[in-house]
Chains A and B, each alone.
Chain A
Amino acid sequence: MTGHRRRTDGRVPVALLVPSVLGVAVLVLPMVGLLLRAPWRRLPDILSSDAVLTALRLSLTTATAATALSLVCGVPVAWLLARTRMPGRSLLRGVVTVPLVLPPVIGGIALLMVFGRRGVLGGWLDEALGVSLPFTTAGVVLAQAFVAMPFLIVSVEGALRTTDRRYDDVAATLGASAWTTFRRVTLPSVAPGVLAGAVLCWARALGEFGATVTFAGSFPGTTRTLPLQAYVAIGSGDTDTAIVLSLLMIAVSVAVLVAMRRRWVGA
């Protein structure tokens, strides 16, 4: 078996090799391009500029808040999807995962239609509670959660499906309520899945652009996150800043992926 595998290992058909080299080039060249064009000498100045630091701080806090919101709401949704037999479950799963494939701008428009001033809920929220989400930091968090929560839900649901439901049965015979069982038995056993989902969710929230700019607008310190800052930079002709911000985002993404890989390999 091993000998057989070794014998065929070196043979790669040209028909596979050429497209794969092209594919890798498509994925890697843009990043190489950024590195080649990066204004290395100005990099420290740009990175420490107020605009960039403000955007970075905002991005980190909103992505973290969006992840927290996704955990609080997404884990229960994953549980419902994985553990109950309620009617319309597959429909719910479809609905919940739509943002995975939806262009984020569309999500932003949809959020505006619901939570905007003249939106279905937004008008009522504004009148009754004086709460208005568009153009606020909370709006950024909502937009990010809209786009990123499905990553968490999918990851946690997958983890829940692989756990043995007999654990719940045993916990019940020991006198545990469904909530105690969830908290002390189910949740700890899917902790790695929850962690992986949360990291993915955080990374997606950090990179969120379309829904944010559409729903929350773009104002320094309030709603202008790193990707928006990069867009403003390129739109106003400040290529250097745009490149530096892009590199920063790539660095964060790579760091997240490396951290996740370690986790997975360790598990």
Chain B
Amino acid sequence: MGLAARVEVDRGELRLQVDLEVGAGEVVALLGPNGAGKSTLLDVLAGLLPPDAGRIALDGTVLDDVAHGRRTAARHRGVGLVAQDYLLFPGLTVLENVAFGLRARGETRRCAREHARQWLHRMDLGEHERRRPGELSGGQAQRVALARALIVEPRLLLLDEPLAALDAGTRPIVRAQLRRHLAGYEGCTVIVTHDPLEAMVLGERIVVVERGQVVQQGAPDEVARRPRTDYVARLVGLNLLRGTARGRVAEVGDRAEVTLAHDAHGPVHIAFPPVAVVLSPERPQGSARNAWPVTVRDLEAHGDLVRVTADGPVPVLADVTPLAVADLGLAPGVRAWASVKAGEISAYPA
């Protein structure tokens, strides 16, 4: 049961080729940079865009099967969509918006409205039923859009950047509400986002899509701790190196070596947080320290610290205090040594 999709779309600049499975009641966050093909995949799942190849089945029912010429129109799929800007119908009241799906399915006006009213109460929107969409706050609009999609009991719910339209202040509250509402939903949920935090909080599983391909998937903490691509590493704020391990030593980058805390063999990913990186004018002395000569490329404020981007045999990100920047005279072009304790490094098979 649940969603089993294999989708291929060829749009010239973008070649989407994704296998996606979502269990009943599971919330999957589709994480990826802009232009990775996430929204295209969502359109295909919703039936708004025909795939060039592949097969989509939902709860055992085949919706699309290109090889067998099978295709189900959007209105007959039972797939709910909450769009990025919520797209509440501006000509209708909040109540009419929520009742829309039931009316479109032929329910009487009275029946549809009664049902919609219950949903609005469940969403704490009871007093807003007569308002127009333009009079709602972003969070309220999102809940209306969610109620409108859920009232027709879709087997698959798609959310496209559900928090992107909100300002930073209200985002945490709405995110928590959304998480609560999704927890009560029994169908499959796919959330598209480019915000890692959103993906971590809302998704029970994260599927990372880059350039039309799934590059990593797993539980949020797994993805956060062990990124497999530079994109994910950057998102979760980790340095990521690829190398080949022989015991406690791994060879990475331009003939540099990294000392590991544990034995490992073969191709590995090596990750460590920028705060673990120490910058110093001379090569530091001491045991189990990894040290590489680097040249500072860029400095930028990062919370209370300064994030230093440095190039060398091993390119690194380092978070240092403003005091350290002043002491070391760090500026673009300045040479320094970057070092990391072996204990701060995590290595996992690539």
Contact = CB atoms under 8 A, between A and B. Distances in A.
Given A184-B92, A184-B100, A185-B89, A175 B46 contact: no
Contact of B81 (A169, A180, A188, A191): A169
Interface in B286-333: none
Contact of B48 (A164, A172, A174, A177): A172
Contacts, number: 73
A188 B83 CA distance: 20
Counting from the closest, the 4 A-B pairs by CB-CB distance are A188-B91, A174-B101, A176-B104, A172-B74
A170 interface: yes
B80 interface: yes
A190 to B, nearest CB: 9
A173 interface: yes
B269 interface: no
B9 to A, nearest CB: 16
A218 interface: no
Contacts of A191: 91
A180 B103 CA distance: 10
B48 to A, nearest CB: 5
26 contacts: A164-B87, A166-B85, A166-B87, A167-B87, A169-B74, A169-B83, A170-B87, A171-B89, A171-B100, A172-B48, A172-B74, A173-B46, A173-B48, A173-B75, A173-B80, A174-B104, A174-B149, A175-B104, A175-B152, A177-B75, A184-B92, A184-B100, A185-B89, A185-B91, A188-B91, A191-B91
A189 interface: yes
B81 A170 contact: yes
Nearest to A163: B90
Interface string A151-182: 00000000000001011011111111100100
A167 B145 CA distance: 12
Interface of A is mostly: helix
Contacts of B85: 164, 166
Contacts of B47: 172-173
Contacts of A185: 89, 91-92
A166 B83 CA distance: 8
B87 A174 contact: no
Interface string B44-88: 001110000000000000000000000001111101110101010
Given A169-B46, A184-B100, A189-B90, A174 B83 contact: no
Given A173-B81, A174-B104, 6 more contacts: A164-B85, A172-B73, A176-B101, A184-B91, A187-B91, A188-B91
B91 A171 contact: no
Nearest to B100: A174
A174 B43 CA distance: 14
A189 B48 contact: no
Interface in A186-217: 187-189, 191
Contacts of A172: 47-48, 73-75
B104 A173 contact: no
Contacts of A175: 75-76, 101, 104-105, 152
Contacts of B73: 172
Interface string A2-16: 000000000000000
A177 B104 CA distance: 7
B148 interface: yes
